[in-house]
Amino acid sequence: MLSDVKTSPTKGKSKEDGRWQSNWWDFHPLVEHIQRPVAWTTSSVIFVAHFTQPLVVARLLPSSKQFSIPSPAPVHSTPASYEPPTVISVSPNDHWLFAYFPGRETDGIGCLWNRGFHIDSWSVKEFWTFPRGAGVVAAAWAGAEREWVTSPDGSTSRLPHCGPLTPVTNPTLLLVTQAHQLNVCYLRTYSPSLRVMTCSLTQPYFASENPAHPAQEMPGGAKTSRQCIRASIGFIYSESSILIAMRSQRYPSDAMKHALDNSLEPVVPQGASQSPTSTDDSPASIDWDAWGEESTIDLCEVKLRFDGMIMSLISNPLPPLHHTQAKLTNLLFVCTPFRSDPTSSPRKDKQAPRNHPPELASTYLVATFLDFEDYSAPPKSEMTVFTLARNLPPTPGKPAWLARQIANRSFSPRVLTFSVPCVAPSISRKACVIAALVDTVGIVPRNARDRKEVPVGNLVVLQLSDLSTDPDWEDSVIMSPVESAGTHWPLSISVSPNRALVCAVSAVRTTIHVLPRIRVAIDTKDLILQRSPFALPLVSALLSRKSIADISHVLSLRSSSTDLLVDTLRGAILLLEANARSYSSIASRMPEALGAVVEIYRTKARQTEDEDDQRHFTALWQNAHDMCSIAAYMRAFEECRDDDGYDLDAVWQLVSLSGWVISFLENLLKECVALIDITDTEPKPKTEPVDVDVFSRDMTSSRASFLPSFDTPILLHLVHPFASSNLCDVVSHVNRFHKFLGSLTAKGESSHIARDVLLDLVSCSGLNVGALESALKGTITELKHIPSDDVRVALARCHPVPSMYAPLRKIVQTLTSSSIVDKPRLFIKPSDLIDGFASLSTSEQSGKKQEKDVITRGLLLKRGPGLSCVRCGSRSEIGSEIGVAGHISIKWRSWERKWSAHCICGGSWVSRNT
């Protein structure tokens, strides 16, 4: 089927006149039930089905790295017996993955994977078969965590639970099959095997996991006569009910197929015996109009209950929804945690009045259709919205839910290809959907024929109350390659974790589109929302531990200015501080904000083409990464500290961290020494690199392309309260550790060697660590008069701002005194003198910079594949056995284990060979 789509004709396209045109066959794959699923995880991994093979392929965004998920044993051993997966679903916590592989003349296979610490580490947990005619149509996960949202006023909160609670199962997977059945697949806590409960969706049914409970007979009948072709599973806030909508199609039964086969047999010769009787299944009595897609949408309510001991399923079919004979392209449940009524204003008080029922959630069912009529022109598309409300009070004999149609809209001459929910409770109380409206004809301007892409449509936000275009949102443009404009429309779509991007998959390619942005009025009173609408979802993502790759991707586009980037970070920092209850909680949120700074500026540096901008943004994200490193290494010293000193089993690890801290202090004080002769406080940045020698600058630093100035990124460590406090603490630990090793008696050869190494590092650095510690503690008082908003802006820009220049000047003068810095030793190193002799073999080796572990700061041994951070690109080999003479420090291992799931910048780990 995929090959047929790829070779579809492209009639009507005129390459000579620069026109492109779509015809009905370009949209027909949308209703042919060709499945190429896609799923976007919270760690920013996109899973798609392979074009031709039964494989699940993953891609890391924003990089182009790809990897394949291991297939279950039957699929791996006989891949020719299975189709590419038609259903792919990822759990909300990104720990579980499910895919269904249809069989070719055999039963299908469903597989459940479990993720390890690394986002590309997946292993098969369970796989099981599905009979032919009862394959999986839709999948969803129950028991998701409560979602974080951020309101425009700056307050953060968590939404109510959505769907049934699952306190004793992880995961809990819901599968709707072609046989109109719901399978609940789950792992009980501390249970190694997967359990499955099944209930009917077409008749009342009760199922329980209690073996003593008598099993109810499942509905009979041939599964091939009527099959579910599309389904949607909807969860409701603060309720345990599950709503399921299904669209079915009738196929010939086995008896009908047998009658058709007999009708095609050769004519019986004259005189031969022939049965005179005729059955109802003869071709003459077959109702040909009864075959094909039905004109109704079946509904069913399912309750998943847990009484403290066992789980049970109760299904209750609801009256179907009737519609036209048009082909259904999508079914979509949209549930909001509030009642959306555009005619009534939201209540100002949060408490409901007495004797008044609590405000219920609004639930909508959105259905989209295509009508090809006589197949002579592009199809007509329309969207229909139904609202579902519980029938209160419950009445015997009446349905538990009432459904009614509230809106219908036709989009001709444009065509609606896909739609996704756009629930934004943090911004407005309106329930909306994002719809893709594409054109059927377009013109490529002559002056733009050399472009690679042309616009073919728009992504618009529609209000569910009347399906009108929401004026609070800006439309975004859908781009398509020039050579395939108007063809290969997406078959499946998936929205990014923070609703900033959408991934669309067609039969031949995968594309990423930017979703609409909220339109902010100029006279709005909300300054945070006015400066950057991405600050709100960024804070929600940081609180939810979601990847922000989609937000950083949008901010790195050419259409996004640097001011938008800075305002986004500043607004996010402000919101994190506003929701912190104490100073300690503010400090705990700062690493999350620094991680966002690292990712956003690094993405911006990789996307920009200007070399000066690349160096500038690279210096910014590396400076933020240094702040993350200092905060992490400070905690390492604290955890490895004993009453009388430090844990000697971790002496070499602490020496490695001390060496990195001393190297960082050398770079910092070199910048301070270079600023001594500046008499004014105005910044003097240089956009062009200058030639410097080894006696004045460190050429290995990315900051060597700027002349000394007060806005040099590394100087932010001296004037930002959080960075300055961490720097002072880590210098204090290095000083204590230096004194502790210097006072050691004969306790082991390894400790004495480590002591000599650290003493050499300190003596050759040209720094008086003790005097530097005292000076840094004294400079903290200079930072109290800096305005709080300037502190946030400085962290968002990742370099000092003008209001910090005056205290920075005093701090620089203090740190460059002769009692702290020995300038000859600071600027002149023995390796610099040896490098001048080209004949020495060490000169070649000195030019090779050995890569170090971002966690331990030791040399990478490269004994295995290792790990790489998707956020900062740093590498590590944590988890390997590190010790001295067979001893492993428990305290060090405890600190190291904290970084098993993510880097010190907060980024996720991925295998280096991915």
Of the candidates 625, 668, 646, 663, the residue with the CA atom closest to the CA atom of residue 854:
625
Distance of CA 398 to the CA centre of its chain: 43
Contact yes or no for 33/137 (Cβ under 8 A): no
- Identify each DSSP E strand in 77-151 by its residue range: 87-90, 96-101, 108-115, 122-130, 136-141, 148-150
pLDDT tens profile 28-70: 999 988 889 999 999 999 999 998 999 999 998 877 788 999 9
The answer to whether 592 and 572 have CB atoms below 8 angstroms apart is: no
3-class SS of residue 911: strand
Which pLDDT tens digit goes with each residue over 216-256? 566 544 445 789 999 999 999 888 899 999 999 987 765 54
Confidence of residue 157 (pLDDT cuts 50, 70, 90): confident
Q: State how far the Cα of 652 lies from the Cα of 746, in Å rounded to an integer.
A: 17
Q: Helices 562-578 and 535-544, interaxial angle, to 10°?
A: 50
pLDDT band at 685 (very low <50, low <70, confident <90, very high): very low
More confident site: 323 or 87:
87
Over the range 104-117, which residues count as b (16 or more CB within 10 Å of their CB) and which as e? eeebbbbbbbbbee
> For residue 581, what pLDDT is reported?
66
Mean pLDDT, the chain, whole residue set: 82
CA pair distance 741, 761, nearest whole angstrom? 13
Read off the pLDDT band of 575 (50, 70, 90): confident
Cα-trace Rg, the chain: 33
Whether the pTM exceeds 0.75: the reply is yes
Stretch 165-174: mean pLDDT, rounded? 93
- Asked if the model's pLDDT at residue 107 lies above 70, the reply is yes
pLDDT of residue 817: 86
Task: Tell me the pLDDT band of 551, cut-offs 50, 70 and 90.
Answer: very high
Q: Which amino acid is at 49?
A: A
583 pLDDT tier (thresholds 50, 70, 90) = low
pLDDT in the model for residue 694: 30
φ, ψ of residue 455 in degrees (nearest 5): -75, 135
For 716-755, the pLDDT digits (tens) are 999 999 999 999 999 999 999 999 888 877 556 677 788 8
3-state secondary structure of 438: strand
Q: Looking at the DSSP assignment, which residues form a beta bridge with residue 403?
A: 388
The token duo for 476 is: 């975004």
pLDDT above 90 covers a percentage of the chain that reads 51
Per-residue pLDDT band for 338 (boundaries 50, 70, 90) equals: low
Question: Token pair of 712, please?
Answer: 């040099």
Tens-digit pLDDT profile for residues 362-399: 899 999 999 998 888 999 999 999 999 988 777 777 88
Asked if pLDDT for residue 103 goes beyond 60, the answer is yes
- Looking at residue 519, its pLDDT comes to 74
Mean of the pLDDT values across residues 781-797?
A: 91
State the residue for tokens 């976007």: 40
Least confident among 167-176, 460-469, 872-881: 872-881
Supply the pLDDT for residue 266: 41
In 3D space, the residue among 400, 396, 370, 402 whose CA is nearest the CA of residue 384 turns out to be 370
What's the chain's length in residues? 914
Q: Residue 865 contacts by C-beta under 8 Å, 6 or more apart in sequence?
A: 911, 912, 913
* pLDDT higher than 60, residue 706: no
Tell me the pLDDT band of 909, cut-offs 50, 70 and 90.
very high
pLDDT category of residue 123 using cuts at 50, 70 and 90: very high
Kindly indicate the confidence band of residue 822, based on its pLDDT and cuts at 50, 70 and 90: confident
> Could you tell me which residue, 577 or 586, shows the higher pLDDT?
577
Q: Give DSSP secondary structure letters for 478-509.
A: EEEEGGGTT----SEEEE-TTSSEEEEE-SS-
Q: Nearest to residue 876, comparing CAs of 849, 854, 859, 903?
A: 854
Q: Could you count the other beta carbons within 10 Å of the beta carbon of residue 771?
A: 16
Q: Which of 422, 389, 360 is nearest to 301 (CA)?
A: 389
* Terminal C-alpha separation, the chain: 31
In sequence order, the 6+-apart residues with CB closer than 8 A to the CB of 621 are: 597, 598, 599, 600, 601, 602, 605, 798, 872
Mean pLDDT of 640-648: 87
DSSP state of 772: H
Side chain identity at residue 880, one-letter code = S
Q: Which of 424-433, 551-560, 858-867 has the lowest mean pLDDT?
A: 424-433
Pairing of strands 19-21, 38-40: unpaired
Average pLDDT value for residue range 751-777:
87
Low-confidence winner among 279-283, 557-561, 686-690 (lowest mean pLDDT): 686-690
Q: Give the model's confidence band at 674: pLDDT under 50 very low, under 70 low, under 90 confident, else very high.
A: confident
Give me the half-sphere count of Cα atoms (radius 13 Å) on the Cβ side of residue 485: 28
Tell me phi and psi for residue 424, to 5 degrees: -125, 70
Does the pLDDT at position 7 exceed 80?
no
Range from 71-80, 417-426, 628-637, 650-659 carrying the lowest mean pLDDT: 417-426
